[in-house]
Amino acid sequence: MPHYIYLVRHGEQQDAEHGMPDGPLSARGKRQARLLAERLGGVPFTGAWHSPLQRAAETAEIIADRLPSLTPEPSALLFDCFPSGKSVDTPSAYDPFFGAISDAEIDAGSAQMEDAVAEFLQSRPGDRHDLLITHNFVIAWFVREVLGAPDWRWVGINQGNCGLTVLQQRPGRPWTLVTHNDLGHLPFELRTGLPDNLIV
């Protein structure tokens, strides 16, 4: 039986444009989460986890309110982080981005994501549907991992707020990317969190 992982980026954060490290969802973020819950209504979830940060925890709470059989649990493996630093193959265009990240942040993020991959991408018996509510860079790392791309490639993989990414593993096969950043449940005015030229 297949194992599915549903990766969700949290809803839009209130005042995120002002550089707040964490905070509550905006009114638009709450609407995004409610619409995502409707989209996920028919999935027979077997487990759910969320980042402990407020924006992800509040997204999980809104989804759980609409899906009463779901009981999301906080997981430190889903915290927002920087999964890796630059490598010799990283294009120089990314120098300003990586130059603003400390070695300590990179070391912590790398260790976290190594543990997260070991925990959530392990083979599990039975038909499983697991929901992970987390952050842009964390989802990007999972996608990069499944595709076998070089470590630095996570930095160019973007997810919108309450975008849906689905991974699948069938017995004896590697993980597959089924869909990435699906925003079909959100009207255009609720599609936030992506660079402007990627919002479609």
Main-chain dihedrals φ then ψ at residue 106, nearest 5 degrees: -65, -45
The pTM score is 0.94
| Low-confidence winner among 11-20, 42-51, 186-195 (lowest mean pLDDT) | 11-20
CA distance 97 to 154: 13
Rounded mean pLDDT of the chain? 93
- Please provide the DSSP assignment of 93-130 as one string: GGHHHHHTS-HHHHHHHHHHHHHHHHHHSS--SS-EEE
Main-chain dihedrals φ then ψ at residue 146, nearest 5 degrees: -65, -35
Confidence of residue 189 (pLDDT cuts 50, 70, 90): very high
Residue 200 has pLDDT above 80, yes or no: no
Structure tokens of 126? Answer: 């039975």
Residue 126 has pLDDT above 90, yes or no: no
pLDDT given at position 88: 92
Confidence of residue 74 (pLDDT cuts 50, 70, 90): very high
Residue 33 has pLDDT above 70, yes or no: yes
| Low-confidence winner among 113-117, 122-126, 139-143 (lowest mean pLDDT) | 122-126
Structural domains for the chain:
3-198 (3.40.50.1240)
| Angle at CA of residue 129, ends 3 and 115, nearest 5° | 70
Residue 68 has pLDDT above 60, yes or no: yes
**Close Cβ partners of 51 (under 8 Å, ≥ 6 residues apart):** 10, 57, 74, 75, 78, 79, 80, 133, 134, 135, 138
Q: How many CB atoms lie within 10 A of CB 199?
A: 13
Residue 101 has pLDDT above 90, yes or no: yes
CA distance 110 to 103: 10
Q: Strand, coil or helix: what is 80?
A: coil
Confidence of residue 198 (pLDDT cuts 50, 70, 90): low
| Low-confidence winner among 48-62, 98-112, 149-163, 184-198 (lowest mean pLDDT) | 184-198
Confidence of residue 199 (pLDDT cuts 50, 70, 90): low
